[in-house]
Amino acid sequence: EPEVTQTPSHQVTQMGQEVILRCVPISNHLYFYWYRQILGQKVEFLVSFYNNEISEKSEIFDDQFSVERPDGSNFTLKIRSTKLEDSAMYFCASGGDRGRVSGELFFGEGSRLTVL
């Protein structure tokens, strides 16, 4: 069964460092997302991406964050200068086959980011 894969599974970084989280969405999907979940809290929407551009973003997704789909298969989330409060599990998701509306999203297993 096709799945969304994320790397790394866990990254530890120093405050102020740049981090790139990588995702390989399911190949025929058209919509891509990043969510995050701080330990013990709810899953929060960060950004959605369609047709090679950001469709929507939340208040959390400020200038420190950026997304890219550099090669048609990977979908990356970059945090330019990490802060302690960026420590969280980051989930990538994809969905939306051609011709299907309001279908399900498929989530990856997540990348745990720890900022020291």
Partner 1 sequence: DAKTTQPNSMESNEEEPVHLPCNHSTISGTDYIHWYRQLPSQGPEYVIHGLTSNVNNRMASLAIAEDRKSSTLILHRATLRDAAVYYCILRGRIYGGSQGNLIFGKGTKLSVKP
Long-range contacts of 70-74 (CB under 8 A, 24+ apart): 73/24, 73/25, 73/27, 74/22, 74/23, 74/24
DSSP string over 30-48: -EEEEEEE-TTS--EEEEE
The site for partner 1 (CB under 8 A) is made up of 31, 33, 35, 42-45, 48, 50-51, 55-56, 91, 93, 96, 101-110
Nearest to partner 1 of 14, 99 (CB atom) = 99
Nearest to partner 1 of 46, 115 (CB atom) = 46
Nearest to partner 1 of 33, 65 (CB atom) = 33
Nearest approach, Cβ of residue 74 and partner 1 (Å): 18
Nearest approach, Cβ of residue 105 and partner 1 (Å): 6
φ/ψ (deg, to 5) at 86: -80, -10
